[in-house]
């Protein structure tokens, strides 16, 4: 019996025909949605396939000088490495799989050179070079090496160094000093501190023989002079280092006072602000003191003279000078003596030279704000604040004055005020992500696009088809009796359709069907016909 009630020949037999037949029975809106989903999925997968076949390009080097970029492009062409140029030729991109290998190859070739030539200029020697050319090459090598070293600093993108090295003279008074100029290109939004600029001048002066630090000038890409003369800073001008020192002194004093307040009143119940006036004048004082009451012997001179002796005389001539001649006269003169002493005195003098230290504290002004006392809430009264008493404020004033070493004779001042504290509304600061290299996340972006495309294709295309096929396949798992009943029902429906088609062709049968379906209406029509016949 089951074999006699099999599915008719017009019914689909495989899954594809069942799917097509089911889609044909769908409404127009659902067919349009299916077509749109299919087109979007095909386009998405086409983009993914094209993107998968295209290599990921990652930054090799950025912000290159034109000379370095040209040399690196030539090397890449010689090694058949694909590349892309961005940022007006300053950035070079290559496939991510060969970035590290390419960087090692460029390093072995001495690239990038950092915008200048270094001591590698002497790698290739020529016997035709003159002494003047050798000196020029040496100067170029020094400039290039210094520029490379300075470019390694964080805020510096590029650097150029110009050296003036005069020839050595025989006499020192004829020797001219060496000078240097450094031009820096800083990164956007970055600046060099005073200590960093001083470090650059120390670096350049230490690398060049006979170059003093004050003969090194550093400017930025905007033409601003970053180096300043020390004498110029000490005469009436405050340098950034002086302002920084003043802030450090004030911060140190505030921390000492704030620590005492937190221990005495509790955390967040007191606030201290200190303003310090410092003396940055460079003063030298020389004094000469004379003491007339205590003279000092500078020199002393003594002279002594004595006289008085016997006088031997005779007749002048030969006889008186012969030996044995005693015929001589003897005379005696009275003795005499004389002494003289001269003493010179000098007034005592004391010479003292005093150099006052720079950055001494001239005056300190302190402002202390303490919170009022908080009285807890009770059943009868809400929470309230009460100002602190004068004794408490005076105690806080003495404590802070002793901790900071305030001296009223110097002009120091302190003010202590009690007021209620009002907590500001909490504002959560938005913290943005740090700037990172987006090229590192390109593989993850690709995987995300693949996942999104797969999910979209599944929910819009695969899932509806699976539901349709599952519904059609489920209908085949029926018993023989159910299949016979369905076949009989389909045959009955077919016979009814054929009978209706036959009725539609025969007018008599159509009238009979209409009378059977609506006899009341038919009776009224016949009744009207009879009345019209009688009246006529």
What pLDDT shows up at residue 273? 92
Structure tokens at 253: 């004093």
Q: Give 324's DSSP letter.
A: T
- Closest by Cα among 176, 150, 174 to 165: 176
pLDDT at 531 (0 to 100)? 82
From residue 121, alpha-carbon distances to 6, 148, 204 in Å are 95, 15, 20
**Distance, CA of 489 to chain centre:** 81
d(CA 253, CA 275): 9
Phi, psi of 82 (to 5 degrees): -65, 145
DSSP letters, 298-323, are EEEEEEEEEE--EEEE---SHHHHST
DSSP annotation of 322: S
Dihedral over Cα of 461, 463, 468, 472: its sign: positive
Do β-strands 373-375 and 360-371 pair in parallel, antiparallel, or remain unpaired?
unpaired
8 A C-beta contact, residue 368 and residue 404:
no
pLDDT digits (tens, 9 = 90+) for 158-168: 888 888 888 88
Residues in the chain where the model's pLDDT stays below 70: 1-15, 51-55, 113-128, 229-240, 290, 292, 294, 296, 307-335, 345, 347, 424-443, 446, 460-462, 465-480, 536
DSSP state of 189: T
Looking at residue 52, what is its pLDDT?
63
Determine the pLDDT at residue 238. Answer: 59
What pLDDT sits at residue 107?
79
- By DSSP bridging, strand 283-307 and strand 336-356 are antiparallel
Nearest to 22 by CA among 463, 485, 459, 464: 464
């Amino acid at each position: 019996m089951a074999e006699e009630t099999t599915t008719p020949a017009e019914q689909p037999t495989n899954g594809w025909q069942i799917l097509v037949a089911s889609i044909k029975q769908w409404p127009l809106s659902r067919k349009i949605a299916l077509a749109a989903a299919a087109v979007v999925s095909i386009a998405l997968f086409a983009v993914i396939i094209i993107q998968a076949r295209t290599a990921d390009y990652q930054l090799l080097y950025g912000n290159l000088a034109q000379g370095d970029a040209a040399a690196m492009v030539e090397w890449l062409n010689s090694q058949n490495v694909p590349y892309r140029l961005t940022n007006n030729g300053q950035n070079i991109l290559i496939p991510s799989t060969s970035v590290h290998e390419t960087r090692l190859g460029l390093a072995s070739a001495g690239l990038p050179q950092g915008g200048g030539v270094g001591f590698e200029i002497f790698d290739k020697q020529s016997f035709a070079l003159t002494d003047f050319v050798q000196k020029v090459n040496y100067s170029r090598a020094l400039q290039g090496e210094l520029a490379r070293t300075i470019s390694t600093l964080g805020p510096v993108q590029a650097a150029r160094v110009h050296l003036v090295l005069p020839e050595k003279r025989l006499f020192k008074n004829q020797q001219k000093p060496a000078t240097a100029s450094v031009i820096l290109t800083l990164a956007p939004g970055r600046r060099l501190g005073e200590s960093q600029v001083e470090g650059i001048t120390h670096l350049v002066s230490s690398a060049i023989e006979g170059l003093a630090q004050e003969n090194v000038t550093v400017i930025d890409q905007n033409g601003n002079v970053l180096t300043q003369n020390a004498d110029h800073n000490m005469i009436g001008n405050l340098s950034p280092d002086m302002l920084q020192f003043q802030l450090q002194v004030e911060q140190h004093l505030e921390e000492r006072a704030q620590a005492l307040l937190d221990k005495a009143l509790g955390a967040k119940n007191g606030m201290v602000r200190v303003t310090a006036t410092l003396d940055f004048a460079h003063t030298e004082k020389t004094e000469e003191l004379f003491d007339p009451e205590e003279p000092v012997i500078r020199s002393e001179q003594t002279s002594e003279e004595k006289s008085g002796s016997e006088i031997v005389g005779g007749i002048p001539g030969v006889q008186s000078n012969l030996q044995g001649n005693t015929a001589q006269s003897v005379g005696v003169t009275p003795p005499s003596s004389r002494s003289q002493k001269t003493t010179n005195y000098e007034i005592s003098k004391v010479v003292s030279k005093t150099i006052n230290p720079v950055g001494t504290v001239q005056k300190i002004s302190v402002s202390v704000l303490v919170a009022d006392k908080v009285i807890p809430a009770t059943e009868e009264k809400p929470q309230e604040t009460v100002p602190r008493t004068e004794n408490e404020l005076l105690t806080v004033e003495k404590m802070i004055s002793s901790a900071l070493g305030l001296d009223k004779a110097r002009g120091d001042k302190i003010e202590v005020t009690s007021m209620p504290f009002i907590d500001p509304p909490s504002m959560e600061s938005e913290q943005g992500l740090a700037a990172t290299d987006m090229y590192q996340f390109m593989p993850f972006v690709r995987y995300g696009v693949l996942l999104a495309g797969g999910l979209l294709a599944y929910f819009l295309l695969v899932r509806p088809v699976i539901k349709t096929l599952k519904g059609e396949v489920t209908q085949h798992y029926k018993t023989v009796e159910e299949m016979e009943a369905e076949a009989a029902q389909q045959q009955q429906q077919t016979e009814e359709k054929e009978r209706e088609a036959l009725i539609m062709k025969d007018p008599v049968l159509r009238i009979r069907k209409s009378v059977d379906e609506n006899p009341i209406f038919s009776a009224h029509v016949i009744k009207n016909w009879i009345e019209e016949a009688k009246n006529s």
